[in-house]
Chains A and B, each alone.
Chain A
Amino acid sequence: MKVLMFGWEFPPHIAGGLGTACFGLTQGLAKNHVDVTFVMPKASGDEDQRKIKIISASDVELDTRYSDYFQFHKEISYVEVNSRLIPYVGLDDYFNVINQKESGLLEDVKVTEKRKYLFSGTYGANLMEEVKNYALVAAEIARNEDFDIIHAHDWLTFRAGIMAKKISNKPLCIHVHATEFDRSDEFSRNEIVYNLEKEGMEAADAICAVSDLTRNIIIEKYGIEPSKVFTLHNAVIPHQKEVERVEDVPYKIVTFLGRVTFQKGPEYFIETAKKVMEYDKDVRFVLAGDGDMMNRMIERVAELGIADRFHFTGFLNGEEIDLLFGMSDVYVMPSISEPFGISPLEAMRAHVPVVISKQSGVSEILQYAIKVDFWDINAMADAIYGILHYPALANFFAERGKEEVNSLKWEHVAKKLKGIYASLLPRN
C-alpha cells in the first residue's frame, strides 16, 4: 500500500505538534508496511528519510501547459488573511519561533512553461498564497507519483489533497488535528479557514479526527456524515532521554504550560491557584508560556494578591520545559477546547501527575489522570490539593502514568489507520 501524504512541516524543523504527529504517524505506518511519500512545502534536507520518502514542494517543477493549472488558479481566489492561524495546538507559541522575515518568499524562479514555487513552509503573512500554490504543486506531484491513497494533514494541505484527488481519482483521507472552533472564539472565527476546512471534509472519503471531541465538532459544526469520520487518537514518540527530577525544591510546584490564550483556560488556573494558596502556604504556581491574554492574567494575579507565589515564565524552550517538569509536582491543563493536547503526556512521562480538563481529546485515552470540567474550579483545586497532600496519590500517578504513556504507540495508531485506508480501496 502506498500513501501520498501532504503535511506542512516535519522534524527536525517544526513549530508545533503537527510535525511531531506527522513524524510519529509515518514511522508507525512504515512499521505496518505502508509506503509513505511525504510532501511538505519546504524540506531542509536533514529530515529523517530512512523510512519514508520526502518531497519538497519547492523543488517541484510545474508544467503550466496543463489546462487544469489555469482552471485551478482561477478557482482559488487570492486571500490575504490576518488572523491567528495555528494549524496545530502544541506547546510552543509559534509566533515566537517563526522568523517572519522568512515568509513571503514566494517567488517565481523561472517564468517560462516550467515554473517553480518557493515556499517558506511557515505560518506567516503570505500563508494563504502558499496554501494555494501548494495545491498547484500537489497536482503536479499527483501526476508523477505512484500511490493508492492520499492523506492530507489539517486545512493548510486540504486543497492540495483535493487537487491530488482530482488528478488521480484516488481516495482522499484528511486528518483533522484542530478545527477553527478550537483556535478561536465566536468573535474571532475565521470564515475563510472554516470554509477551507469544510471543503476538505466534504471532498474527503474518510476523515481522521484526533479525538472523539474533534470528531463531534466535525459532525456537528461542519455537518459531515458521521460514517466517514473516524477517531484516531495521537500517540507518543518514545523519549530519547529521561527528564531528571530536580531535588531540593523548597516549594511544591503546580505548573501550567501552553499558550496563554482563551482556549487554554489560563484564568481558571489562576482562580484555582488562589483557592489552593489560601490553605497551603508552601505551594507555588507557575504559568509558562506566552499569548494574547498574558497582560490580563498578570493583572488578575495582582488583583488577587497572590503575585508573591505565582510566577510567569514567558515562553520556554525545550530544555527549560524539561527543567520545569523536573521541578513540578502537578501539571494542570485547564483547556476550554483542546482537540488532543499532547502536553499532559509529556508531563506524565516526566513522572508528573496531571489534572486535565474533560474538554480535551487526550482525556479520552488517559486513565491515570484526574479529569475535571475546566470551569469547575473547586474540583480542580481539590485535585491539586489531593495530589500535593496525599502522597499515595502522587506516587500512584507518577508510576502508573508513565507506564500508561509508554503504552501509547504510533504503531498501534497506524495499524488502525491502515484499516481505514483498506476500507477506501477498491476490493480486488
Chain B
Amino acid sequence: MRKICFHFQISQPYRLRRYHFFDINKHHNYFDDFQNSYLVKRLADFCYLPANKMFLDLLKKYEDISLSFSISGDSIQLFKEHAPEVIESFKELIATNRVEIVGNTFSHSIASLYGKDAFMHQIKKQEKQLKEVFDVTPVSFCNTELIYSDEIGEWLAEAGYKVVLTEGARHILAWKSAGYLYCNPFQTNLKVLMRNYNLCDDITLRFQNKSWEHYPLTADKYLSFLNNIPHDAPYINLFMDYETIGEYHTKESGIFDFFYHLFVQIAERKELSFMLPQDVAKEEDSVLTIHVPWAMSSSSDEKDTNEWLGNELQQEAFEQLFKLENLYKESKNENAKMNWLRLQAADHFAFMSTKWFAETSVKRNFDVYPSPYQAFINYMNVLNDVKLQLEKKK
C-alpha cells in the first residue's frame, strides 16, 4: 500500500522592532513585544489550537492516523511567553504516540548555509529544548525552509539523525520521482524524504484561488489527485507550514473541513496508509541515492537559497552575523547570546530580499518593513548592538 506522510512546520521568529541607530549601545530590547505577542496569540486562536484539537479528535477516532510536526525553539519560547496552552495541546497530541516531533534548528536559522559548527549548535540547542518541553528525542530532521545539501546531510548523520525531510526540487530530481525513498550518497544511513511540492501548493497556495481550474478544492478532489500520481511510487510526502490551516486560509475558507475530511477519507478508504518520517529510518529495500551538491530549499519556484542570500545586502548581513561566532562562544552574556541566535532566523533575511519587489509569497504577510533596505538597516543596527553586548562580557 502507498504511504502518505503529513508534516507540519511551525517557525515563528522573534520579530524585530524598529531599532534606530541612536538606540545602539543604549537599549537592548530589539524585539517588537507587542507584535510578537499579538501574532502568536492570533495564530494560537486561529490555527494552532483549533487545528490541534481537530487532529486530536481524528487521532482518537481513527487509530491508523499519524502525523508529524517540527516546532522551532523560538516558537516554543513564544508560546511559553504568550500562549502556553499551545504547548499543552501539543503534549496531548504527542501522548497519542502517533505524533512525531521532528528535529529542526532552534531559531529557524539559516546557519546550515554558513557552516557546520553554527548549524550543529542550533540543532543541539533545539534537541535540548525538545527534551525539556516535550520529553522527546527526534530521529528525523526538517531544516529551516527544507534547506538541504549532501554536506548538510552528512552533518545530520553525524548528529545522529536517521531521516531528513527536504524539497522534491525538480532540478535535483530531474526524471526521478519524489515518491521514492532516497538516501544521502555519503551517509547512506540517512534517509531522504522528498516533498511533493505540487500537491502541497495545491493546498497552501491554490486552495482559495478562484481562477484555478480545480477551485473549489474538496477532499474528494484532492484524493483523486493523489490517486492520479503513478502508483508504483510508494511515498507521498506532504510538508507544509502549519499556518496553512487557519491563517493562510482562514476558517471561513473551509480549510478545517477540508483537512478533516481528507484525513477521514484516507483512514476509511484504506488505499493509502499514514506514515511518520521515523518509520522509514530502518527501511533497507529500494532506497536510492540522491545527489544534492548545492543547497536547495522549498523557496518559491527556483528552490534555491536566493530568498535569503540573493542580494549583496543579505550576503553582507549574513557575513557580519556569522563573523560573531567566536565572540558568541567566548561571551558570557546569555541574553546577547540568545539574541545572536535569534538573528539567524530566515525571516530577517527574507525581508531584505529584492528578488521580487512586490512579493506575493505568503510569508510576506508578516513583513513589517516598508522596503528591503529598511529591513537591512534595522537588522544591521541590531546586529551592531548585539556585537557590542557580546564584547562587553567576554
Contact = CB atoms under 8 A, between A and B. Distances in A.
A385 B380 CA distance: 11
A70 interface: no
Interface residues of A, number: 21
Main secondary structure of the interface of B (DSSP, over half): helix
A396 B370 contact: no
A381 B21 contact: yes
A390 B376 CA distance: 9
B313 A382 contact: no
Contacts of A99: none
B312 A386 contact: no
Given A370-B371, A379-B374, A382-B377, A390 B20 contact: no
Given A370-B371, A392-B313, A395-B312, A279 B376 contact: no
A372 B20 CA distance: 14
A389 B312 contact: no
B257 interface: no
A386 B377 contact: yes
A278 B24 CA distance: 13
Interface string A337-380: 00000000000000000000000000000010011100000110
Main secondary structure of the interface of A (DSSP, over half): helix
A268 B380 CA distance: 24
B22 A386 contact: no
A279 B316 CA distance: 23
A275 interface: yes
A22 interface: no
B316 A383 contact: no
Contacts of A302: none
Contacts of A386: 21, 373, 376-377, 380-381
A378 to B, nearest CB: 6
A425 interface: no
Interface string A375-407: 000110111011001111101100000000000
A385 B312 CA distance: 18
A278 B313 CA distance: 26
Contacts of B311: 396
Contact of A393 (B20, B21, B313, B370): B313
Contact of A389 (B21, B370, B371, B373): B21
Contact of B374 (A367, A383, A396): A383
Q: Which of B317, B373, B374 has most A Cβ within 10 Å?
A: B373
A371 B312 contact: no
B18 to A, nearest CB: 8
Contacts of B370: 371-372
B313 A396 contact: yes
Interface in B293-352: 311-313, 315-317
Nearest to B25: A279
Contacts of B21: 279, 381-382, 385-386, 389
A393 B22 contact: no
Contacts of B381: 382, 386
Contacts of A278: 22
Contact of A390 (B22, B24, B357, B380): B380
Interface of A: 275, 278-279, 367, 370-372, 378-379, 381-383, 385-386, 389-393, 395-396
11 contacts: A275-B22, A378-B18, A381-B20, A383-B373, A389-B21, A392-B313, A392-B376, A393-B316, A393-B377, A396-B311, A396-B313
5 pairs of A and B residues whose beta carbons are closest in the complex: A386-B377, A392-B316, A385-B21, A370-B373, A390-B380
